[in-house]
Structure 1
Amino acid sequence: EGSEGFSDLPCERYHLPRPMGRLGKFILPNLLLPRALSDRIGAELLHVVTPYGCAFPTLPVPQVVTIHDLSPLTFPQGSSWMQRAHFHRLLPLILRRSRAIVTHTTRVAEALSRRFPGIGGRVHVIPPGIPSLPIPAGAVPAGRPFALHVGTTEPRKGLEILLDAFREFPLDLYLVGEILDRAELEREIERRGLGGRVRLLGFLPDAQLARLYRAATFLVVASRCEGFGFPPLEAMRAGLPVVASPASAALREVLGPAVLWAPGSDAAALQEGMRRMLQSRETREHFIAAGKAWADRYGWERFCDRIERLYHAVVSGPPRGQGSSAPMRLSQRPDAPQKETPRKREIGTA
């Protein structure tokens, strides 16, 4: 609701009870959704935009599932035991029951196909669009110059490398996003002598985040494992240059030549990249322009067109056997006018 490009899309909402507790992510897709799809909704397809899809042959319609990344498998130290168990035990079943599998990068698609042989023909790389944040009103408040990091503080984000890089760096650091263990993070900040120079802001509304994108000197990314990379693309679209560690292959694919890549993945290399961005006005101006142009490649119109064609192929195509690896041919959208406007059926939880 209110999303860019979707305000005029016909949409029906169905609210299902949200199961509480640790088993909620299992109960909803495997027990509640199949019954709702049969008895109440009459949908032709179910697209689960998380890896928590239906693992058993109880769905009355074809399933499409989106896999953003494989971090519980590739970076298990940053995941809970339930996430690891799901990816090891249930995800193989979910993939077998899915008519199509969507990823946002070829790197994740390749890793998925290597980990689960036989699904390659059902994997479709469809990069998403990037939302446009509101344009900040008024002047940006003056203050000490700062660099910005947007994302959670889970281990795969490389916060320890980022903090080490700021030990002898002249900017402050603002951290925006989910803070998993504030007390531990504050101890790490103090241990490095960064008290008073690192601000933990947590989640922020879009309007406040947009103001930070406008006020920051640059965005810095130290991630070692990513599935896509929304924050750097948001920053680039807002005109904020980006300095990034090259550790994540998916991030290198998504951001391409439009960011300043550090010469290595350690703290010294990241600091070298940040100093280059800070000290050269020409470098900043280059990556501001390059970032804006690159971020424009990720539009919602193209994403929706490819998703729609995939839906038509899934609904009209023959059932696929388990382990089939033949490529799925995307059908063209019907040219004949429809008597009734197709309505998007959205399943929500309450």
Structure 2
Amino acid sequence: MASAAPRVGIMLRHVTAPGGVTVFTKRVVRYLLTHPHGIDYHLLYSEEAQREVFEDLPATHVVLADGARLRWDQVTAPRYAERNGLALLFNCKFSVPLAAKVPTLIVIPGREQLAMAHVFPWYNRWYNQLLVPAFCRSATALITHTEIGREDCIMMGARPESIHVVPHGVDRYLRPASEEAKTAVKRKLGLERPYILFLGGITPLKNIGNLLRGFARVAKTHDVNLVLAGFKRWSFEGELAPIQELGLQDRVKYVGYVPDEDLAALYSAAECLALPSWYEGFGIPIVEAMACGCPVVTSSGRHAAPEVAAGAAVLVNPADPESIAAGLSQVLDDPKLRMELIAKGLVRGPQFDWDTTGRRTAEIIRSVANAPAARPGVLETPARVLVRGGASVGAAVTEKIARGFNKQ
């Protein structure tokens, strides 16, 4: 008699939030559901509205309504897993149930939550510093997106043999756009001048302030604007404040979220992509821009961007507006360099493919679900969160963190 298909739960509390984690989640989960290979997937949502994302695909869709996000991760989801015989719990957003009695698989791009702790709201700082290293040590297996991400996970306590490097992909529609498409998107967004493009979340991690300071120098000598595209997140007002301070109101345009159907043309029409982030766990816009024939200026340092760019971008010092200005000016002023970057990018960008990402993730899921091993884990009780070195915080502090975290 054939054995029953392994049941795998996918935690999707974050699936309607903006950001690169959600892009990865949507692309990978869609691949998994269309290529199940004998896995019975249970999609676990925290709100009814989240069902719409994958409702057209075959799976067991379960809404576990619980407004307390930390409790949903640590109690509600693992309780469902245990009661329904799940062989694995998978979460694309760096959180796993520490006390789960089933194997767990987590995605952690890197250690930005710790390396850049000061830019996060206080409740995120506590949560990240106390729990993210515990998640790394507790998870049966981890996925990260780069080799630098692998090093970061080891630094946070993950066992090297438990880590799998699975890069992001690039959507196949992201290729150089036609002149007609570029003209149409510029008309739609009211972009009259040539422009440098920033695309991503408006957060302190993205270093918008120094980008604006660098661009202010470029704007004095070049007939070019800066277009900021993406969603607003925490501290966005402070990040955009230099526009007024530097007198750039007529040279910087915030266009907000750009729908997928306009992205290829927006990238293709740009003079370059500027992404001088303090830290990137991968940097999806880097490879998307390259695939569209858009030169890239991104940041140096110990994070994923230099690895992802792989010599096909201009690297700048994110702490130095002069360096950012120099990098942008290089691309604007040197036609030979520009063409070299475009050529290298058109090779590099399409190397990232969501089918490959999905297939590799599916292999890891099958491996863990079909051969569950004892989890090294972190002992967990409602009153204590154990962290490296045996330090702990009491229930009152944990509850305070949870209240702040649940406001997000």
Query: CA–CA distance in 2 between the matches of 1:172 and 1:123?
Result: 42
Partner of 2:81: 37
Using the TM superposition, give the Cα deviation of residue 231 of structure 1 relative to its aligned residue in structure 2, in angstroms. Answer: 0.8
Gaps of 5+ in 2: 1-24, 37-57, 187-191, 379-408
The percentage of aligned residue pairs carrying the same residue is: 26
- What SS does the corresponding residue of 1:278 show, helix, strand or coil? helix
Q: Which runs of 5+ in 1 are unaligned?
A: 325-350
1:121 alignment counterpart = 161
Deviation for aligned residue 1:249: 2.9
Matched with 2:61 is 14
CA distance in 2, matches of 1:9, 1:292: 29
Higher RCO, Cα 8 Å, sep 6+: 1
Question: Do the aligned partners of residues 27 and 134 (structure 1) sit closer, same or farther apart at CA in structure 2, a change above 3 Å counting?
Answer: same
- Quote the offset at 1:321 in angstroms: 4.7
Trace 1:59-74 onto structure 2 (pairs within 5 A).
59=101, 61-74=102-115
Choose which of 297, 312, 323 in structure 1 pairs with 2:351. Answer: 297
**Which residue of 2 is the match for residue 87 of structure 1?**
128
Amino acid at match of 2:229: V
After superposition, what is the alpha-carbon deviation per residue over 1:65-107, rounded to whole angstroms, capped at 9, x for unaligned?
1112322211012212222222222234333331101111121
- Which of residues 98, 111, 117 is equivalent to 1:55? 98
Q: Distance in 1 between matches of 2:79 and 2:290?
A: 43
Q: Does 1:132 find its partner at 2:172?
A: yes
CA 187–28 in structure 1, closer or farther in 2 if over 3 Å, else same: same
Query: Which of 131, 134, 152 matches 1:111?
Result: 152
Could you tell me how far 1:251 is from its partner in structure 2?
Answer: 0.9
**Which whole-Å CA distance do the structure 2 matches of 1:69 and 1:318 have between them?**
25
Number of residue pairs aligned between Structure 1 and Structure 2: 317
Q: Corresponding residue for 2:208? A: 159
- Give how far 1:18 is off: 4.2
TM-score by length of structure 2 reads: 0.71
TM-score normalised to structure 1 length: 0.81
Match of 1:337 in 2: none
Map of 1:156-305 to 2, 5 A cutoff?
A: 156-169=205-218, 170=222, 171-180=224-233, 181-262=235-316, 265-305=319-359
The one-letter code of the counterpart of 2:167 is: P
Q: Aligned in 2, Cα 1:269/1:91: closer, same or farther, shift over 3 Å?
A: closer
Q: Distance in 2 between matches of 1:78 and 1:18?
A: 30
In structure 2, do the counterparts of structure 1 residues 307 and 44 end up closer, same or farther at CA, with 3 Å as the change threshold?
A: same
Contact 1:220 1:242 in 2 (8 A): yes
Residues 291 and 191 from structure 1, CA distance in 2 versus in 1: closer, same or farther, beyond 3 angstroms?
A: same
Equivalent position of 2:44 in the other structure: none
Distance 1:206 1:70, change over 3 A: same
Match of 2:282, SS state, is coil
- Report the structure, 1 or 2, having the larger helix content: 2
Which 4+ runs in 1 deviate beyond 6 A? Answer: none
Q: What letter matches 1:102 in structure 2?
A: I
Q: 1:139 to 1:66 in 2, by over 3 A?
A: closer
